A = this chain, B = another copy of it.
Amino acid sequence: MAPSLTLFFSLFTAFLSSSLQPLASSSPFNHPPRFPATAKLPWAQVRVNEAQAPEYRYETRYFSQQLDHFSFLELPTFQQRYLINTEYWVGPQRLGPIFFYCGNEGDIVWFAENTGFVWEIAPQFGAMVVFPEHRYYGESMPFGSREEAYKNATTLSYLTAEQALADFSVLVTDLKQNLSATDCPVVLFGGSYGGMLAAWMRLKYPHIAIGALAASAPILQFEDIVPQETFYDIVSNDFKRESSTCFNYIKESWNNIASIGQTLNGLVQLSNTFHFCRPLNKTADLWNWLEDAYGYLAMVDYPYPASFMMPLPGHPIKEVCKRIDGQLAGTSVLERIYDGVNVYYNYTGETKCFELDDDPHGLSGWNWQACTEMVMPMSCDPDSCMFPPYKFNYSDYEEGCISSYGVKPRPKWITTEFGGHKIDATLKKFGSNLIFSNGLLDPWSGGSVLQNISESVVALVTEEGAHHLDLRASTKYDPDWLVEQRATEIKLIKGWITEYHEKNKAMFDM
């Protein structure tokens, strides 16, 4: 349930538009990385409007964390928020499991509410549920406030995946000690970036967690491990499979926008066509706004209505393409596009005009992460990709990060720290009790593990699935394949726990 990677997408599109000469445009597309343009609907509002909004019970607690686990610089500690529910837990005597969700780049309450799977299965496992928040997101702010934490590269410098994993490890170790539950098995869950954290934590801290369900976790989206075109090719195919005309309209639209943008009053015209509350400053903003919508749509192309990023109908891409294709003859490409993306930005129809740069879920820290460790090279191939062609250029990327944050990325660090090249060999030998679940409609699936690696490192791939749909609460609309996928996950997790209990029993019996 992490939109995390939405952010990757967003960041990339920012770079895409900013650092590169688009097809037919000479506009100065130079803006810093920016955030998902999730328009003006704050999440709270979405929840109120949503009949099926779940109600999960938990206690909110705070844990004092080291800001830098790997140095002894005298730094202020910070309060990490975590949500905890022990009402189903069978306790330490019976070695009740601890379900531990690896919080990702946003408010943990939002993730908790969108990770119904963990809440739903906890009772049958007699499990405690813990949702720790990722540092620098939600309320878990170093230096006392978001403003201070995000002030500059110095204050942001401790926003890294390794520090977050250390937070999780210290927290769960302390929690278990305090509950006299050191022997209770910990099972990790995570989606998107959180799924990457879950997988990495299982690999780096095997003494702490017995297994991990890593949903839609693109741990291979680094360096040259997967083709750079993968992400945008999948987004594009998601549209093409609904309608090749739809795909072509979108592909055509970029140049149209660029051409109009260059004319006198072109930006005003575009702003009117797309109903922005304020005139656009540059065409790149519109590009990004559209790219965000298509990317997110591909991620949340769920088979039933859902409100993860935005309130959307089931099969939203089908809906978008219906609108793009289904206009009267003579309707301009941009009017078609406008009507199409309204499915994403304004499905409720309540929005009168759009604002750019909203960040209702507080996800913007991802831009920093993308400018430091999370360098995911992506390109757009002119033949297969419906976005403006783009060839990833590391120098431009680096330059963008330096100018935005004054920070230089370390593009090889993640694979050095966590591996990635020849992942099969590594996971076969060292990994176990890992589930990589992926839906092939999800553009992030291309950077994940899609094949079984061993008996206990398993890939669950669904053709019609999108971004970690399996982590969401069950609904009456769930297709059979989703019901089956979740049942398999439950069976595998049960296997890990049973195996753990048997080994522990064997140790007690000795």
Q: A residues engaging B (CB < 8 A)?
A: 66, 68-74, 153-154, 156-158, 160, 162-163, 166, 169-170, 173, 182, 203-208, 372, 406-407, 410, 412-413, 416-422, 425-426, 429-430, 432, 503, 507
Residues in B neighbouring A417, C-beta threshold 8 A: 69, 166, 169, 205
A409 to chain B minimum Cβ distance, whole angstroms, is 9
Known contacts: A204-B204, A207-B422, A417-B169. The answer to whether A158 contacts B429 by CB under 8 A is no
Known contacts: A204-B204, A429-B432. The answer to whether A173 contacts B74 by CB under 8 A is no
Contact of A163 with B412 in the complex, beta carbons under 8 Å: no
Residues in B neighbouring A68, C-beta threshold 8 A: 68, 70-71
Contact of A72 with B372 in the complex, beta carbons under 8 Å: yes
CA distance A160 to B160 in the complex (A): 18
Contact of A182 with B72 in the complex, beta carbons under 8 Å: no
CA distance A157 to B71 in the complex (A): 5
CA distance A73 to B67 in the complex (A): 12
Known contacts: A417-B169, A425-B503. The answer to whether A407 contacts B72 by CB under 8 A is yes
Residues in B neighbouring A413, C-beta threshold 8 A: 69, 170
CA distance A156 to B74 in the complex (A): 11
Count this chain's copies in the assembly. Answer: 2
Q: Which of A70, A154, A157, A158 has the most CB of B within 10 A?
A: A70
CA distance A339 to B390 in the complex (A): 79
Residues in B neighbouring A204, C-beta threshold 8 A: 204
Residues in B neighbouring A412, C-beta threshold 8 A: 173
Known contacts: A169-B416, A170-B416, A416-B169. The answer to whether A426 contacts B207 by CB under 8 A is yes
CA distance A157 to B73 in the complex (A): 5
CA distance A410 to B421 in the complex (A): 34
A88 to chain B minimum Cβ distance, whole angstroms, is 26
Residues in B neighbouring A166, C-beta threshold 8 A: 416-417
Residue in contact with A160 in the complex, picked from B72, B170, B182, B419, CB distance below 8 Å: B72
CA distance A417 to B170 in the complex (A): 8
CA distance A307 to B74 in the complex (A): 40
Residues in B neighbouring A66, C-beta threshold 8 A: 410
CA distance A158 to B205 in the complex (A): 22
Q: A72-B407, A206-B430 are in contact. List 4 more A-B contacts (CB 8 A).
A: A69-B417, A72-B372, A74-B407, A208-B419
CA distance A155 to B208 in the complex (A): 32
A177 to chain B minimum Cβ distance, whole angstroms, is 9
Q: Which of A173, A182, A206 has the most CB of B within 10 A?
A: A206
Residue in contact with A432 in the complex, picked from B372, B416, B430, CB distance below 8 Å: B430
Contact of A173 with B372 in the complex, beta carbons under 8 Å: no
Contact of B72 with A153 in the complex, beta carbons under 8 Å: yes
A369 to chain B minimum Cβ distance, whole angstroms, is 10
CA distance A157 to B207 in the complex (A): 26
Can you give 6 A-B contacts (C-beta < 8 A)?
Answer: A70-B162, A169-B417, A182-B421, A203-B206, A208-B416, A429-B432
Contact of B73 with A154 in the complex, beta carbons under 8 Å: yes
CA distance A294 to B455 in the complex (A): 52
Q: Which chain B residue lies CB-closest to A373?
A: B72
Residues in B neighbouring A416, C-beta threshold 8 A: 166, 169-170, 173, 208
A335 to chain B minimum Cβ distance, whole angstroms, is 45
Contact of A71 with B72 in the complex, beta carbons under 8 Å: no
Contact of B429 with A156 in the complex, beta carbons under 8 Å: no
Contact of A71 with B432 in the complex, beta carbons under 8 Å: no
CA distance A407 to B75 in the complex (A): 11
Interface pairs A-B: 6 shortest CB-CB: A207-B419, A70-B70, A73-B157, A206-B430, A72-B157, A207-B426
Q: Which of A157, A207, A407, A429 has the most CB of B within 10 A?
A: A207
Residue in contact with A71 in the complex, picked from B158, B422, B507, CB distance below 8 Å: B158
Residues in B neighbouring A503, C-beta threshold 8 A: 425
Contact of B156 with A72 in the complex, beta carbons under 8 Å: yes
A427 to chain B minimum Cβ distance, whole angstroms, is 9
Q: Which chain B residue lies CB-closest to A177?
A: B412
Residues in B neighbouring A70, C-beta threshold 8 A: 68-71, 160, 162-163
A126 to chain B minimum Cβ distance, whole angstroms, is 22
Q: Which chain B residue lies CB-closest to A423?
A: B207
A61 to chain B minimum Cβ distance, whole angstroms, is 19
CA distance A71 to B166 in the complex (A): 13
Q: Which chain B residue lies CB-closest to A166?
A: B417
CA distance A173 to B432 in the complex (A): 25
Residues in B neighbouring A169, C-beta threshold 8 A: 416-417
CA distance A426 to B503 in the complex (A): 12
Q: Which chain B residue lies CB-closest to A500?
A: B425
Q: Which chain B residue lies CB-closest to A371?
A: B72
Residues in B neighbouring A203, C-beta threshold 8 A: 206
